[in-house]
Structure 1
Amino acid sequence: MNNYAEILNKCSRCGGCQAHCPLYTETGREPFVARGKIELLENLQSGNLEWNDTLAEIFSTCLLCGSCTENCPNGVRTDKLIMSARKELVDARGLPIIKKNIFHHFLKYNGRLNKAGQLLAIYQKSGLQKLLRTSGILKVFPMDLAKIESILPEISGKSFRNNLPISRGISHPKLKVAYFTGCVTNLVNPQVGYSILKILEANDVEVIVPEQVCCGIPAIASGDLKTGRFLAEENIKHFTGLSVDYIVMDCASCLSTWLEYPELFSSDEAAGLMPKLVDINRFLVEILDIRINPENELGIKVTYHDPCHLKRTPGGKTSPRELLKRLSPSYEFVEMDMADRCCGSAGSFNLTHYVLSQKVAQHKINAILDSNAKIVASACPSCIMQLQHSLKNNNSDIQVKHTVELVAQCLNS
């Protein structure tokens, strides 16, 4: 932790982070808040502690939502400290076997990921999923497998990138963009990708979808920087040198990870791509300034959930809201309470800490229900899956959509 000694020393132990940590709100446990973790990190650095199972669990129990960092009067970057600690943990003890296999044998290989998506789709559509759920056999497995399995949304089984529609062609495009789809749009919800292609082509924007791999956030957030660096370098290689005006993304986590590439990997090529990176909502509002003007006066109330990784990027809070407001009169935007509070997904956190994740999510679900909205929009596939699952747990039929899905629907009105 030598590189982070200066950050550690900034903490005054005021405890202000307690008021902003979603996990401390649920547990009341000091090791789960920023101040407690910093105390442990200082003891690790000084040699008073060594990595063990207890510390591994403590440092895995963090959403990396950034609320503590955002509200720290001394500017302590606790998120950076946690990431560094997880790397040290992996260096000292290695990766858990499940993560090791996923990161080393799936994330690096699109063909294997595509095959996994196909198998999951078969599992869901063949009746096997229903059989296992009704039989109760999932409940005999450790890690509360039945609840974890229930998070799975409906899998398309077809890779979006391998099934791109034929472009109508744009003779004189306003702009040309490269589209980084991310894993979830590619394998789980291709409708988001089709919506983006439809919107951009309708606004005379030429879209290319280059070869690409996972952005690396699952590995990086788990401390496996070696795999994260490999994935980042692959993406940088595929996107460097493209004759495009922008690189658009529909995933808040992918965008924030790409923005960290230069710092994480000291890459000049990555630094050169940074000015082109843009969230799709910001691109549509600030760059294209699209006007939808839907004809159907449906007045369906829609609210918005802020992904933690997007709200701190330029235009990350304002652009999605402005986009939704432009869908009137088909949709009526209503703000919910605690819109920018973490939903508890945090990538795989809702899998590894299911019960705690759902407790965090319940605050957001209550706010959604109080808003009287019929649809919740967001701009993070992971958040969307979490909200869908948590709303279902609350016996709610409120839909959860990516913002671009609503825009694409309005183009038909």
Structure 2
Amino acid sequence: MDKKYLQMIGKCSRCGGCQAHCPLYLETGREPFVARGKIELLDNLAAGKLVWNDKLAEVFSTCLLCGSCTENCPNGVEPDKLVRLARKDLVAARGLPIIKRNVLQHLLKHNGRLNTAGRLLGLYQKSKLQLLIRNTGFLKLISTNLANIEGLLPQITGQPFRKNVPLLNTVDAPRLKVAYFTGCATNWLNPHIGRSVVKVLKAYGVEVVVPEQYCCGVPALSSGDMDTGRYLARENIRNFSELDVDYIITDCASCLSAWLEYPELLENDDALNLAARVMDINRLLVEILDVSIPAKESGVKVTYHDPCHLKRTPGGRTSPRELLKRLSPYYEFVEMDLADRCCGSAGSFNISHYELSQSVVKHKVASILDSKAEIVATACPSCMMQLGHGLKKNNSDVKVQHTIELLAHLL
């Protein structure tokens, strides 16, 4: 363990204040799942009193990396970073599980393979094979969790967004020129969000470049696979450093957080210079473009869910809310309880820990329903899937949409 790692462990006073803020501890009451418990285990690992084993691997995989403990720690400890460092050590000691290794190292690093996987999933859905498997209950015969996880899948188009949009989307007399980092989810699962981003930016006089790009690296970095994370970061920096643009924008909170970590990850000037120009689409619209919205009457009630990765960035809490307020009177914004509490998605956590993730999201679903909103807006595709799944399980007809979709609808 490096010196920085050990110093951070030493800052923890074991006060237990993190218990009040950890969604997983609040669900389970289990000390190993909260920051204090994990730090105590790391202290013993550092001292050589413990070695990595299956039980410890499970404990350190059981973390949302939501950052609530970090935000509320009186001693400035950053447990989410410690967990990621621990996962790096775990991978070094024991390697990655075979499925995760193949996804991270043999799929995400190769766009051609990722595109093939997307087409196959799209074919699975469109060929009625998905319907047949669901109706026969085949997956439940194998595993109830497998059936539940398959239910998380949104409709896949089979055609990636970036294959159907020009490299350069021009406007007359442009105010700005931006590069659009779509991320994997928009490219494959939510091309309608990508179309909304381009439509809105062009409407406000912004030229949009959609270059070749790779996964942002969050799945690898969160899993402790630093080599794959660095590879993906370097490829993205290489592709975007050649562009003459004012900003790099994204509609995905996780992608934004990854880009903001590139300077520390790569330790080079290109990463530092590009990260300084990366911005969430909501912030660009509110702080840079200062958009005004054509007034239209309707009164559709909308609430908002804070993605964990976005709320900790500049303007991450305020810009989406300000944008929604500017959509009045067509949309009526209402704040819900627990708006900034993690929804339990955390990338692939809702796959690897399905039941626990559903226990977490049920509180968010209750808050959404209590708000009486017809739409819950957010700015993270992963959160959208989790919220949509949770609402569907509750037989709710509340829609889950990206903030940019709501604005695009009015233009």
Give the TM-score band, short-chain normalised.
over 0.9
- Note the 1:322-333 alignment, pairs <5 A: 322-333=322-333
What's the CA shift string for 1:202-247, capped at 9, x where partnerless? 1110100111000000011000000000000000000113110000
How far off its partner does 1:142 sit?
Answer: 4.2
Q: How many residues matched?
A: 410
What is residue 382 of structure 1 aligned with on the other side? 382
What is residue 290 of structure 1 aligned with on the other side? 291
* Equivalent-residue separation in structure 2 for 1:149 and 1:171 (angstroms): 45
Greater alpha carbon shift after TM alignment, 259-268 vs 92-101? 259-268
Identity of aligned residues (%): 67
Q: Are the aligned partners of 1:2 and 1:45 in contact in 2 as well (CA < 8 Å)? A: no
How far off its partner does 1:165 sit?
Answer: 5.4
Structure 1 unaligned spans of 5+: none
What is residue 305 of structure 2 aligned with on the other side? 305
Q: Residue 38 of structure 1 aligns to which amino acid in structure 2?
A: I
Q: Residue 306 of structure 2 aligns to which amino acid in structure 1?
A: D
* Equivalent-residue separation in structure 2 for 1:246 and 1:341 (angstroms): 29
Q: Does 1:358 align with 2:358?
A: yes
What is residue 235 of structure 1 aligned with on the other side? 236
How far off its partner does 1:134 sit?
Answer: 1.2
* Equivalent-residue separation in structure 1 for 2:199 and 2:188 (angstroms): 19
What's the CA shift string for 1:78-125, capped at 9, x where partnerless? 011000000000000000011011011110111111111111111112
- Let me know the Cα RMSD of the aligned residues: 1.1
Q: Are the aligned partners of 2:170 and 2:208 in contact in 1 as well (CA < 8 Å)? A: no
- Note the 1:13-412 alignment, pairs <5 A: 13-142=14-143, 144-164=145-165, 169-295=170-296, 297-411=297-411
How far off its partner does 1:348 sit?
Answer: 0.2
| 2:276 partner SS | helix
* Equivalent-residue separation in structure 1 for 2:39 and 2:142 (angstroms): 35
Q: Are the aligned partners of 1:293 and 1:328 in contact in 2 as well (CA < 8 Å)? A: no
* Equivalent-residue separation in structure 1 for 2:240 and 2:143 (angstroms): 42
What's the CA shift string for 1:320-346, capped at 9, x where partnerless? 001011111111000000100000000
* Equivalent-residue separation in structure 1 for 2:169 and 2:114 (angstroms): 29
* Equivalent-residue separation in structure 1 for 2:52 and 2:404 (angstroms): 44
Relative to structure 1, is the Cα distance of residues 6 and 393 closer, same or farther in structure 2, using a 3 angstrom cutoff? same
Q: Are the aligned partners of 1:301 and 1:373 in contact in 2 as well (CA < 8 Å)? A: yes
| 1:108 partner SS | coil
How far off its partner does 1:166 sit?
Answer: 8.8
Give the structure-2-normalised TM-score.
0.98
* Equivalent-residue separation in structure 1 for 2:154 and 2:322 (angstroms): 28
| 1:332 partner SS | strand
Greater alpha carbon shift after TM alignment, 28-37 vs 241-250? 241-250
| 2:249 partner SS | strand
| 2:177 partner SS | strand
* Equivalent-residue separation in structure 1 for 2:178 and 2:167 (angstroms): 16
Q: Residue 271 of structure 2 aligns to which amino acid in structure 1?
A: A
How far off its partner does 1:168 sit?
Answer: 6.8
How far off its partner does 1:143 sit?
Answer: 7.1
Relative to structure 1, is the Cα distance of residues 339 and 124 closer, same or farther in structure 2, using a 3 angstrom cutoff? same
Give the structure-1-normalised TM-score.
0.98
* Equivalent-residue separation in structure 2 for 1:168 and 1:294 (angstroms): 27
| 1:298 partner SS | coil
Q: After the TM superposition, which parts of structure 1 deviate over 3 Å for at least 4 consecutive aligned residues?
A: 165-169
* Equivalent-residue separation in structure 2 for 1:171 and 1:343 (angstroms): 41
